[in-house]
Amino acid sequence: MNEIKPLAWLGDPGLKEEVVLRMKEHRAEDSIIQGGYQDYAPEMASQYKGCLLGCTLPRMKVNHADEIVAWHHEVERLYGIPVPVACLLEDVFENLDFEDAAEFAVESIEAIPVGADLAAATAYWFSDYQTAPWNDKKIRAKVLDLLRSAPVPEPAP
């Protein structure tokens, strides 16, 4: 049985636009944070502060630390971005200097083409990324390049 791979943004340009706008709002409010997930912040238009993944998602109530792992799955379910790619983005984000991290959060979401097959970024997470010496500029550039160049399959007739 063939498993159907999720395609980025579930093939919906409007979905990508909505998430990119949410990310830009978080960046403008300076509500992108490292080392944490969604913190309620009623004084902000977005109503919460979050990490790269947390800011992509609508505000969610988190009661237990073990629920955080499900956020990677929510990104796959809601946006078609595979769990390994969500892990890759989050890991790069958490290991950058703060200013670079906040920019990467927006850039990485913008870089993912609508309908893209993110298999190459998934493979990078499982192979080269795990063993490469950390170099924030090279890894950031590599990940953004993998995202931007992800193939968009032709729709089936």
pTM strictly above 0.75: yes
Domain segments of the chain: what residues?
Answer: 8-148
Distance, in Å, from the CA atom of 137 to the CA atom of 80, rounded to the nearest integer, reads 27
Which residues lie closer than 8 Å to 87 by C-beta, 6 or more apart?
72, 125
User: Where is pLDDT greater, at 150 or 59?
Assistant: 150
Model confidence band, residue 33 (pLDDT cutoffs 50, 70, 90): confident
Question: What's the CA angle centered on 121, arms 54 and 135, to 5 degrees?
Answer: 80
pLDDT at residue 154, as a whole number: 81
How far is it, in rounded angstroms, from Cα 133 to Cα 46?
36
Q: Residues of the chain with pLDDT > 70: what percent?
A: 80
* Between residues 135 and 34, the one the model is more confident about: 34
Please tell me the chain's helix, strand, coil percentages from 3-state DSSP, rounded to the nearest 5.
60, 5, 40
Other Cβ atoms within 10 Å of 155 Cβ, number: 8
Q: What is the band of 24 on the pLDDT scale with cuts at 50, 70, 90?
A: very high
pLDDT reported for residue 65: 52
